[in-house]
Structure 1
Amino acid sequence: MSKFKEGDTVTETADVNQDDLPALHRNDNVLLRKLGYKSEFKREFSLLETISFSLAIMAVSCGVTTGYSYPLLSGGHFAMVWAWFIPCVFVMCIAASMAELASSMPTSAGLYYFSAKMASKERSALASWITGWSNITGQVTLICSINFSCTELITTAIAMGTDGAVILGSGATFGILMGIHLTQALLCSAGTRILARMTVVTLVVIMGTTIGAIISLLVCAGNQRVSSKDAWTKFENNTGWSNDVWAFILAFTSPMWSLTGYDSAAHIAEETAGAARAAPIAILVGVGVTEILGWIYYIAISYATTSVPDILETKLAFPLGQVFLNVLGKKGGLAIWCSITVLQESAFIYLCGCSQAVDASRVIFAFSRDDALPGSRWWKRVNHRTQTPVNAVWFAMILSAICGVLSFSTAAFNSLASASVIGLYISYVTPIYYRVTSGRNKLQPGPFNLGRWSYPIGWIGIIWVAFMVVMLLFPYSQTANEQTMNYSVVIVMAVLIFSGGSWIFSARHWFTGPIPNIDVQSDTSSYSEKPENMEQNSLKN
């Protein structure tokens, strides 16, 4: 059934003579039409640019810099090293399962499309609805969480440069946050080619800054470095929880927050050349590189952290800034810190934050394409000039900016990090769950597949996320008050109540999951593509 209604405003690259397109792009478009959608974007993301896009969102140096306080509190040196390493093993299982699905079904609908196709016929629509709303919740809150981290890095640099004389209040901080959102919205409204090229710059800056910070900490610490025994094994619990094991587990928040957004490669699949191969490669390489560099960075930080209690007493917004001051002095520490802040402004704000905004807009566009969001007819429109969903970009940024109001309450805003991780990882494992249950025999493997390892790897990821969702709802102190309470449960429950209520009272009567916006049979038969050139691994209709 065709879902494309008369009067919808959409730019269709599918109407372009397919013979004018490169063979790889024609194959991509044929596969996309087999999945039920017409090609509406330019395929200007190469494999390198897709990998860069994935790395830009995770931005390892910035993720470690902003997440350092978690292991610092939850075990000191031991947590810095091992609380990053342990979750990485399980996250890679989730990434591998996601890569298998993205290879089989390369569409910007991504996760909620996977859930719909892997679930049983009776549960397909509900599975798609849950996945879509969970992913959008995580995407939007992650934009705001990332941008607030950028803002705090800037305020920390100002405090360091003035010896603490200038400490910006919540009003000025909120103003910077809104300025970042506005700038990102303007840049993300550009064409795909500009965004694709800029992600390569991000890759270079991220790698350079991370390696530079690691070398600076190890070399300049000199004799101040702690012993290897302390760097790898010394445990100090400063959380307030009496159980050391639980305190250590709470440090998993840092890698779980950093290792999010790698589904982005799936969401730009309709803008990627050779998406069935590029998307899974980008997911696996992005996660793998981030995990390795992040672990090495934390090891260097552990060696350079001479006193955990002293660092905890810092007045800087980010404790890692104090480590750089102690190791490199004011000038050297400020130089390194500013280089990281520059990374935030040029890559993490403009590119990492932009990449996340682009990712969120593609999810909103795809979900709206199936009329699943209020105002869908606006958010699914593609700008005729840039051939990007500009309306969806601004919608995502406005929602994120509204979340930014929480920045006036430190406890409430810090809960956004947990809420974003919970929302994203629920959307990650929902299609994986259906893949290993009702969808065991439904998947037509793409170029990348796990074979018989799909099921054990999938179940490992599912069990890990179930455990992490519970952990991320706990406060960081056993004696929590209004200032230390974890309010992520409020944010998550608000979305669940809204989406669940919408399903019960309305959506279950009209939402049927992804519906083709083309006549699949007639549209695919209209191509003059040679059979031997068509993508052989596609979803069974």
Structure 2
Amino acid sequence: MPPPRERPTVSQRTADPLTLDDDATLHAMGYPRKLTRRFKAFDNFAISFTIINIISGIFSGFGFGLNAGGPRILVFGWIGVSVMVLFVGAAMAEVASAYPTSGALYFSAGKLAKRHKGAWSWYTGWLNFVGQVGGTAATGYAAATFIQAFIALQWPSYVPSAHQTVLITVLIIVLQGLANTYTVHLVAVLNRISVWWLLIGLAVIVTALVVIPDQHQSPSFVTHFANNTGFTSALYGGMLGLLVTSWTFTGFDGSFHMSEETVRATVNAPRGIIRAIGCSAITGLILMLALVYSIRDYDHVATASAPPVQILIDGLGLGTAKFLLLIVIGAMLFCGLANLTSNTRQIFAFSRDGAMPGSRWWHSVSPRTRTPVKAVWLAVGCSLALILPGWWSHTAFTAIVSVNVVGLFLAYAVPILLRLRLGDEFQPGPWHLGRWSRPVGVVAVTWTALSSILFMLPQASPITPDSFNYAPIALAVVLTVATAWWFTTARRRFRGPISYGHPDEVAAMDLI
């Protein structure tokens, strides 16, 4: 294999990216083809739509929103944050069209930086990695929690415990690892199923909430405001409620990470990002309105251990509530599977450029399944490591996975910021924003900065060890380790994305 060399610049590629087929585009960026392209446009959209997963996100965060702003923030905050996330997604999609690789965010950061390419790429990659691992762990933990809620409804003598939650979470993540190990075709099929599961499940839940209850809240109830956070500032309490929507809208970089397995990736990957955000915004608003207007006793629901489940029980009865809860659990399981798939591709690409310990292991591809099997199990192992503290302390687990959203959105913002700094030197792909590129990018970076700060502020008062927001500490630990590692060894061996040769050379290395 020829030694890695400086990758051809964007301006050195074929002038019209539309004339490049998928393999030629990948070869122009210095990589041989090692993964199977089985993801069509719908499959690419499905991965991000499934990771965003409005059913999982809304049911997980609805209770927090009831106490941090109430219906006014849950509904109007959803609309406002969805628009902001669409700005972030559009700016990311433009970058994805120009650099359709599994490396996605970290790769584009290294290519868009004018100086210190290795450092920009390094920090973006590790923020993305930690955020995705935290997302896989958090989604599995949420699914385990709702599974236990279902069991408790079915068998009232069952008493959920932290140990049981951890064990169920471990089983879920291991099964998702096996699904990702078997074949990328299976994952694509499951992602297609997940889209219809979400859409049909949404229709069933919303229809049940609209038709079955004998009473609903008045139209003006959507303006009801509640601040039970413990903070005296209503503005601050309401701003905290925006986190419900922000928490839901994570993981749409999955379409970017699946670029090397997507046909016509320069167009289908960015479209997948935009469509996933847009569809999630609309369907999520419908679900949010259905839940809000089905609330009967606000205080009773707001103090319940699982407020959305309480709404279902109050309005639909125990039997129907249990059936709908199965839909919710299924959505969470699909979400975790898609999240793990995206996480695996990021590990594969990051290690391909030598940025992880044991890189030669993690970027290898199974000759039988054409999937990065070892990267799958590294992602599983890291997610399980985050789960284990939950055996002793729920607060410890929450502290670790809270970096999920902050890590991901900071990783989203870096290549967008660097693209803005590059100005007219940026060579867009076939999907681009044209003259709107700069204003969209500015809004995206500004919103990401503000929302990241919001995620690191205290979220409940009085501040105790149980209510303290450990996200800043978790993020500081990640950045400290990454910085120490960078200055001790990494900066001497990692220069950012590498090239395995000129296009004709890497074409000869294709393994498929």
Q: TM tier, shorter chain?
A: over 0.9
How far apart, CA to CA, are the structure 1 residues paired with 2:109 and 2:350? 13
Give runs of aligned pairs for residues 39-438 of structure 1, distance below 5 A.
39-120=33-114, 122-163=115-156, 165-223=157-215, 225-230=216-221, 232-314=222-304, 316=305, 318-341=306-329, 343-344=330-331, 348-349=332-333, 351-408=334-391, 409-437=393-421
Amino acid at match of 1:332: T
How far apart, CA to CA, are the structure 1 residues paired with 2:20 and 2:496? 26
Give runs of aligned pairs for residues 25-40 of structure 1, distance below 5 A.
27-40=21-34
Change in Cα spacing, 1:194 to 1:445, as seen in structure 2 (3 Å) is same
TM-score (norm 2): 0.93
Change in Cα spacing, 1:440 to 1:524, as seen in structure 2 (3 Å) is farther
Which segments of 5 or more consecutive residues in structure 2 lack a partner in the other structure? 6-17
Amino acid at match of 2:403: A
How far apart, CA to CA, are the structure 1 residues paired with 2:187 and 2:369? 11
Q: CA deviation at 1:299?
A: 1.0
After superposition, what is the alpha-carbon deviation per residue over 1:431-462, rounded to whole angstroms, capped at 9, x for unaligned? 0000001x213322212100111111101111
How far apart, CA to CA, are the structure 1 residues paired with 2:462 and 2:19? 57
How far apart, CA to CA, are the structure 1 residues paired with 2:139 and 2:491? 34
Aligned partner of residue 284 in structure 2, secondary structure: helix
How far apart, CA to CA, are the structure 2 residues paired with 1:26 and 1:353? 34
- Percent of residue pairs identical: 29
Amino acid at match of 1:506: T
How far apart, CA to CA, are the structure 1 residues paired with 2:509 and 2:400? 48
Q: Could you tell which deviates more after superposition, 187-196 or 419-428?
A: 187-196
After superposition, what is the alpha-carbon deviation per residue over 1:261-304, rounded to whole angstroms, capped at 9, x for unaligned? 11111111111111111101100000111111111111111101
* Preserved contact between residue 268 and residue 362 of structure 1 (Cα < 8 Å): yes
Change in Cα spacing, 1:241 to 1:255, as seen in structure 2 (3 Å) is same
Amino acid at match of 1:331: G
How far apart, CA to CA, are the structure 1 residues paired with 2:278 and 2:163? 39
* Preserved contact between residue 461 and residue 467 of structure 2 (Cα < 8 Å): no
Q: CA deviation at 1:516?
A: 0.9
How far apart, CA to CA, are the structure 2 residues paired with 1:388 and 1:481? 45
* Preserved contact between residue 2 and residue 515 of structure 1 (Cα < 8 Å): no
Amino acid at match of 1:30: A
How far apart, CA to CA, are the structure 2 residues paired with 1:41 and 1:379? 14
* Preserved contact between residue 124 and residue 512 of structure 1 (Cα < 8 Å): yes
Aligned partner of residue 189 in structure 1, secondary structure: helix
Q: Could you tell which deviates more after superposition, 143-152 or 472-481?
A: 472-481
How far apart, CA to CA, are the structure 2 residues paired with 1:50 and 1:195? 11
User: Could you say which residue in structure 2 is the equivalent of 1:10?
Assistant: none
After superposition, what is the alpha-carbon deviation per residue over 1:2-50, rounded to whole angstroms, capped at 9, x for unaligned? 4469xxxxxxxxxxxxxxxxxx998100110001111111100011111
RMSD: 2.0
Alignment pair present for 1:519 and 2:502: yes
Aligned partner of residue 68 in structure 1, secondary structure: helix
Aligned partner of residue 298 in structure 1, secondary structure: helix
* Preserved contact between residue 2 and residue 519 of structure 1 (Cα < 8 Å): no
* Preserved contact between residue 34 and residue 524 of structure 1 (Cα < 8 Å): no
How far apart, CA to CA, are the structure 1 residues paired with 2:255 and 2:470? 30
How far apart, CA to CA, are the structure 1 residues paired with 2:509 and 2:317? 68
Change in Cα spacing, 1:32 to 1:308, as seen in structure 2 (3 Å) is same
Q: CA deviation at 1:180?
A: 0.7
Aligned pair count? 497
* Preserved contact between residue 27 and residue 504 of structure 2 (Cα < 8 Å): no
* Preserved contact between residue 47 and residue 255 of structure 2 (Cα < 8 Å): yes
How far apart, CA to CA, are the structure 2 residues paired with 1:189 and 1:523? 26
Alignment pair present for 1:503 and 2:497: no
How far apart, CA to CA, are the structure 2 residues paired with 1:505 and 1:234? 54
TM-score (norm 1): 0.89
Change in Cα spacing, 1:524 to 1:400, as seen in structure 2 (3 Å) is closer
* Preserved contact between residue 25 and residue 273 of structure 1 (Cα < 8 Å): no
How far apart, CA to CA, are the structure 2 residues paired with 1:390 and 1:522? 26
Amino acid at match of 1:183: L
How far apart, CA to CA, are the structure 2 residues paired with 1:245 and 1:108? 40
How far apart, CA to CA, are the structure 2 residues paired with 1:495 and 1:376? 19
Aligned partner of residue 472 in structure 1, secondary structure: helix
After superposition, what is the alpha-carbon deviation per residue over 1:80-106, rounded to whole angstroms, capped at 9, x for unaligned? 212211111111000000100111111
Aligned partner of residue 425 in structure 2, secondary structure: coil
Change in Cα spacing, 1:244 to 1:400, as seen in structure 2 (3 Å) is same
Q: CA deviation at 1:219?
A: 1.7
Aligned partner of residue 387 in structure 1, secondary structure: coil
How far apart, CA to CA, are the structure 2 residues paired with 1:518 and 1:191? 29
Q: Could you tell which deviates more after superposition, 106-115 or 478-487?
A: 478-487
Aligned partner of residue 460 in structure 2, secondary structure: coil
Q: CA deviation at 1:308?
A: 2.3
User: Could you say which residue in structure 1 is the equivalent of 2:14?
Assistant: none
Which segments of 5 or more consecutive residues in structure 1 lack a partner in the other structure? 6-23, 528-541
Aligned partner of residue 456 in structure 2, secondary structure: coil
How far apart, CA to CA, are the structure 2 residues paired with 1:414 and 1:526? 44
Q: CA deviation at 1:149?
A: 0.6
How far apart, CA to CA, are the structure 2 residues paired with 1:147 and 1:428? 23
Q: CA deviation at 1:522?
A: 4.4
Amino acid at match of 1:329: G
How far apart, CA to CA, are the structure 1 residues paired with 2:22 and 2:142? 37
Change in Cα spacing, 1:196 to 1:3, as seen in structure 2 (3 Å) is farther
Amino acid at match of 2:151: I
Q: CA deviation at 1:312?
A: 2.5
Change in Cα spacing, 1:36 to 1:76, as seen in structure 2 (3 Å) is same
* Preserved contact between residue 411 and residue 486 of structure 1 (Cα < 8 Å): no
How far apart, CA to CA, are the structure 1 residues paired with 2:303 and 2:506? 65
Q: CA deviation at 1:65?
A: 0.8
Q: CA deviation at 1:63?
A: 1.2
After superposition, what is the alpha-carbon deviation per residue over 1:41-81, rounded to whole angstroms, capped at 9, x for unaligned? 11000111111111111111111111111211102221221
How far apart, CA to CA, are the structure 1 residues paired with 2:136 and 2:508? 41
Aligned partner of residue 326 in structure 1, secondary structure: helix
